[in-house]
């Protein structure tokens, strides 16, 4: 495995240099570019871009030369009611240590999937998303802060700053701070409004290199067989999350001003409107 990736990296560097007419014998791509005036003249402003590519290739080589990557896989079952309390756990993301992979699908009749993950180190983070069926534009990806509920990144082109953050996340340049996050995957606006089609997808989260690879493979919810909240299929985790959510809500309500104050009246009115 190591030799194959290392060979591929070397070949990629060689092919790239050959295309540009650069001789890399006896030196790396960067030194060859700066030492060959003809190549520098031809490449022009592309030198900086090539240096960046060379750096990425070096990272691949570093990954290939590292100790053997450990792989872990966990199966889970989709739920009928997707929300933060029933979110499936994708794992803990640690810089230069772990990589998280989620493989699932929006089955027929399923409008949204929700997963959670923890970031243990504040660092530049990369999110890769792929739909094997070629329906990438039909799937909507969102990342939320679990504690505040704030939208961090959004694949919707109309999401403003959240979309800019998503583009950085795709490029691996978005700084995600240490904490808990929610990954929400749904059908894009206007895509299959009847939920009649299945959209397969895979999402990958990483912070640099990794030595541990975690796969979360989710199977479709079975009507009439599986627990709609996932309590029986995931053991006590989902139940714990549900209890924690109720406890948080109870603590929040207890922290409200005394009944009769303006703030309480406004909040009660908002809750009434939302519920009824």
For 255, counting Cβ atoms within 10 Å of its Cβ (0-12 exposed, 13-18 middle, 19+ buried), the class is exposed
The pTM of this model reads 0.61
Q: What is the mean pLDDT of residues 157-183?
A: 97
Query: Token digits for 66?
Result: 């590292």
Given a cut of 80, whether residue 149 has pLDDT beyond it is yes
State how far the Cα of 205 lies from the Cα of 216, in Å rounded to an integer.
Answer: 12
* Predicted local confidence at residue 84, as pLDDT: 84
Which CATH architecture group holds 70-219? Answer: Sandwich (2.60)
Q: Which residue has the tokens 């490029």?
A: 171
- Lowest mean per-residue pLDDT among 91-100, 158-167, 260-269: 260-269
**Of 33-37, 60-64, 266-270, which one has max mean pLDDT?**
60-64
Q: Do residues 192 and 49 touch, judged by C-beta distance below 8 A?
A: no
DSSP E strands: which ranges in the chain? 70-77, 88-93, 98-106, 112-119, 123-130, 139-145, 151-154, 174-176, 179-187, 199-206, 212-219
């Amino acid at each position: 495995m190591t030799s194959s990736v290392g060979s591929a990296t070397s070949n990629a560097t060689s092919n790239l240099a050959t295309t540009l007419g650069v001789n890399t014998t006896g030196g790396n791509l960067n030194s060859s570019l700066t030492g060959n005036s003809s190549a520098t003249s031809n490449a022009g402003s592309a030198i900086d871009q090539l240096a960046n590519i060379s750096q990425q290739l070096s990272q691949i080589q570093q990954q290939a030369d590292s100790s053997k990557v450990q792989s872990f896989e966990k199966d889970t079952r989709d739920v009928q009611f997707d929300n933060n309390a029933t979110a499936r756990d994708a794992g803990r993301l640690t810089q230069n240590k772990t990589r998280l992979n989620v493989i699932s699908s929006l089955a027929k009749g399923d409008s949204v999937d929700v997963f959670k993950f923890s970031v243990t180190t504040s660092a530049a983070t990369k999110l890769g998303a792929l739909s094997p069926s070629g329906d990438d534009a039909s799937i909507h990806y969102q990342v939320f802060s679990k504690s505040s509920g704030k939208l961090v990144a959004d694949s919707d082109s109309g999401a403003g700053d959240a979309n800019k953050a998503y583009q950085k996340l795709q490029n691996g340049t978005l700084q995600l701070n240490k904490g808990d996050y929610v990954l929400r995957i749904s059908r894009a606006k206007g895509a299959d409004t009847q939920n009649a089609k299945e959209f397969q997808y895979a999402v990958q989260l990483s912070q640099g290199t990794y030595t541990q690879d975690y796969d979360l493979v989710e199977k479709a919810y079975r009507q009439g067989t599986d627990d709609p909240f996932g309590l029986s299929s995931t053991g006590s985790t989902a139940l714990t999350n549900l209890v924690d959510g109720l406890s948080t809500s109870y603590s929040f309500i207890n922290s409200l001003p005394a009944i009769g104050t303006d703030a309480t009246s406004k909040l009660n009115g908002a809750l009434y409107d939302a519920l009824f």
